Structure 1
Amino acid sequence: LRALAQLLGPYGVKYMSERLVWHVASQITELNKIVNEHRDALRLARSCFDKPDKMRELLLQLSGDVKDKKQIAVSGPMESVLQRVTIIGEILSFHSLLHAALHDVLERRLPFLVSIVKDLYDSTDEHNRLVKSFKIDS
């Protein structure tokens, strides 16, 4: 990833970050559609969580299992939600790894600039910081 970050540069990494955030937003939109489609079953599951028979029926309904074993099992909403959450996690992990690789490249190629930014960050108090989540390794 360091080689990719070096090839892309800061503006390329910024563009990649914007694209990755767009993909996360589209996955969240799809999750919202799935939840809206199965809103009634989810509300019923929330209110009947202590009734095992009813929960078993709802689980079968949400898992998309078919009664006839001859048919091909189609992935249900639970599988789709799990798949989309996994995709979001992979995208966010790649995002953080790409930024860490860019930070490593900048430390190797521009150590003076990184040290100036770190000193500036350390010299400001918490109320004057614009970006509170900005993390510079010591």
Structure 2
Amino acid sequence: MSNIPAELKYVASHEWLRLEEDGTTITVGITEHAQELLGDVVYVELPEVGATITVDEEIAVVESVKAASDVYAPINGEILSINETLDEDPETINADPYGAGWLYTMKADNLEDYEALLTAEEYENEL
């Protein structure tokens, strides 16, 4: 079974979210399970900083040697930053999906949307 950190929130489409210490910034990435299914990641297309995103909107693409997979907005909000390291080292997602392999940070329109996402246990039950 994949590693599923208890302190994170999850979406059934295999994205994870972490509310940062400032209480407003949310870091988003793909789960260990997702990167295992994809295999070796070779390219990542990330959203534009400043973009407004809507839940379930396709906002990024992760390409691997096996396939390309869309990444969907987990909640409504605004993109604050992207992980530029992934331009040169997309395989960081495979090596550290919950750490250095994060995709982007965002500010939620409504933090209640974040709180309503899946817990680690609920996500594990979806697998």
Instruction: Give the TM-score of the pair, scaled to structure 1.
Output: 0.21
Q: Based on CA coordinates, which of the two structures has the bigger radius of gyration? A: 1
1 or 2, which has the higher helix percentage?
1
Instruction: Give the TM-score of the pair, scaled to structure 2.
Output: 0.22
1 or 2, which has the higher strand percentage?
2
